[in-house]
Structure 1
Amino acid sequence: MSKPPGRPYAEVIGDPIAQSKSPVIHGFWIDQLGLHADYRACHVSPAELEDYLTQRRGDAQWRGCNVTMPHKQAIIPLLDRLDPLASRVGAVNTVVRGDNGSLKGYNTDVGGFLEPLRDRLKEPHLYRMARILGTGGAARAIVTGLAGEGFTLVLAGRDPAKARTLLDELAPGGDHHTPRLDHFAAPTDFDFDDREGLLDLVVNASPLGMAGQEPLAFDLSHAPPGAIVYDIVTSPARTPLLEGAEAAGFGTIDGLSMLIGQAAEAFQKFFGVAPPRDHDAALRERLLA
């Protein structure tokens, strides 16, 4: 846990951590801006989390950290304050150190997820519906974000009771639904209504389809005409779900969009300057290399 000497720095923590793309993203922006700063990955096990924060509190060069699994909820009681959005989501993915060593937790996953949808969300719609696949940690930010944008949610997981509990906590009062995940595996001949003026999303919020994981069983006949298919998996960036959706004529959004969006919010909190987003195409090339 030694720090780079002589310059401000931030880092990403998790267990495991080698797979994180955050150092590539933040390092790219640091280089583009010519900042005298560093960003790196730090492996922190659950047993080390409290000691890690104690050490960093006293380090005036440490600007904060991004938080990945399995710490997004476990870190909350170790912080001094929570941003209201992080409190509402019940998960923290960014910690910022104050001048006095205080630690404040944020959630930039919500903004990162919504960022590539912003232009569509500015438009008026008669109805908005999202089919969200998965009820894990990522789903908390996605449910919170979409509920705040007026979506009716269909949250599918292996355990519908878990999905219902999550909706009751994060999106109470809506006419939401909780089918089993395998409901979407087989083809359907459902005749969708006219989708004029509607905004439909299909979101893979699970690790299914990620390299080394089971494939996601989702038949695209369950996607309404004109739907946008959004997969938050980043490895591979072009998942089988997205490839199939694109071939079938659906609009698609990949997981790198959310990853870069959430990192941009965190970068400004760490270093006090906005990242150069006009270089996103070059950043994507580096992430895909």
Structure 2
Amino acid sequence: MSTPYAEVIGDPISQSKSPDIHGFWLGELGLASDYRATRVQDGELPDYLSGRRGDPDWLGCNVTMPHKQTIIPLLDRLHPLAKRVGAVNTVVRAGDGALVGYNTDVAGFLEPLQSMLADKHLFRMARILGTGGAARAIIAGLAQEGFTLVIAGRNPAKARALLDELAPDGEHHTPPLDHFATETDFAFDDREGCCDLIVNASPLGMRGQPPLAFDFSHAPPGSIVYDIVTDPLDTPLLKDARAAGLHTVDGLSMLIGQAAAAFEKFFGVPAPRGSDDRLRERLMQ
């Protein structure tokens, strides 16, 4: 008897936590389905999708680097958010057989911020460190939530191009990344009623990568510090933020959130989020 399945594709793929996340949820729900990891290298996407179109058990796939943008012209339709972000991380076969591209990274990133976003603020500002692929969903998501954005990268011109594409409205800023590496004597005003967010959207601080140089004199009082890095989970940035008395959000929050949105599209039922604590324990082993 055949087994319906979804999978994650990318290159490299062995480090992906998606099979652990989806496999845990499938087990919790007792679903007779599977979730796999498949390495798909540059140039192999057309053949991969052609083969999966003919597989009746294939429900869809999550898409990781380096394919989030290159897969777009190979799909039949794009969800409006995926089109706006310009990146696809979830592909689902629709009832008519069409391959539809979605972006669940935006929902995954915003999920742990929902209680904060439900409040009304006089002003919202996000300092986003990094201009790579992950920054696209973060910029689009925060722009729709009314944030003034400060996008810091090694190449300010690239940061400006991202803003022009993804957040053309608003008075946003593009300082160089090293602007945040040294101390500032800027006197922040009374931040009551304001919402300040600092996001590491770069690989800096990841195991095997250089550290992220960030001086916390750039963090207004009450800032939330969010690091999307998942290895290590407790990054130096998050440790320093806690030492400064700031609230933190780790990379598993976004990873689990985006996976939950994809899980429901693949398997037709919501992910069992009541077991998130046990899932986290498993992922950190």
TM range (shorter): over 0.9
Runs of 4+ in 1 over 6 A off after TM superposition: none
Select which of 253, 275, 279 maps to 2:275.
Answer: 279
Residue 242 of structure 1 is matched in structure 2 by: 238
The answer as to whether partners of 1:60 and 1:99 remain within 8 angstroms in 2 is no
Contact 1:157/1:181 (8 A) holds in 2: yes
Which residue pairs with 1:270 in the alignment? 266
Q: Distance between the aligned counterparts of 1:40 and 1:218, measured in 2?
A: 37
Out of 256, 261, 282, which is 1:260 matched to?
Answer: 256
Alpha-carbon separation, structure 2, partners of 1:149 and 1:288: 31
- Counterparts of 1:125 and 1:47, CA distance in 2: 47
* Residue number in structure 1 paired with 2:75: 79
**1:163 lines up with 2:159 in the alignment:** yes
Picking from 131, 148, 151, the partner of 2:144 is 148
Paired positions, count: 285
For 2:221, the equivalent position in structure 1 comes to: 225
> Alignment partner for residue 114 of structure 1, among 104, 107, 110?
110
Q: SS at 1:147's partner residue?
A: helix
Q: Deviations over 1:13-47 (max 9, x none)?
A: 00000010000000000000000000010000012
Alignment of 1:1-289 (within 5 A): 6-289=2-285
State the secondary structure of the residue aligned to 1:153: strand
| Contact 1:108–1:266, Cα closer than 8 Å, also in 2 | yes
Displacement of 1:190: 1.1
CA distance in structure 2 between the partners assigned to 1:133 and 1:286 by the alignment: 29
CA distance, structure 1, for counterparts of residue 258 and residue 172 of structure 2? 26
**TM-superposition CA deviations, 1:227-253 (whole Å, max 9, x none):** 000000011110000011011100000
TM-score (norm 1): 0.98
- Amino acid across the alignment from 1:185: A
CA deviation after TM superposition for structure 1 residue 102, in Å: 1.4
Q: Tell me how far 1:55 sits from its aligned partner.
A: 0.4
Aligned mates of 2:29, 2:173 — CA distance in 1: 46
Helix, strand or coil at the partner of 1:238: coil
Tell me the distance in 1 between the aligned counterparts of 2:55 and 2:96. 10
Gaps of 5+ in 2: none
User: Matches of 1:274 and 1:99 in 2, distance apart?
Assistant: 19
Long gaps (5+) in structure 1: none
Q: Which whole-Å CA distance do the structure 2 matches of 1:280 and 1:111 have between them?
A: 17
- Aligned-pair identity in percent equals 74
- CA distance in structure 1 between the aligned counterparts of 2:254 and 2:88, rounded to whole angstroms: 16
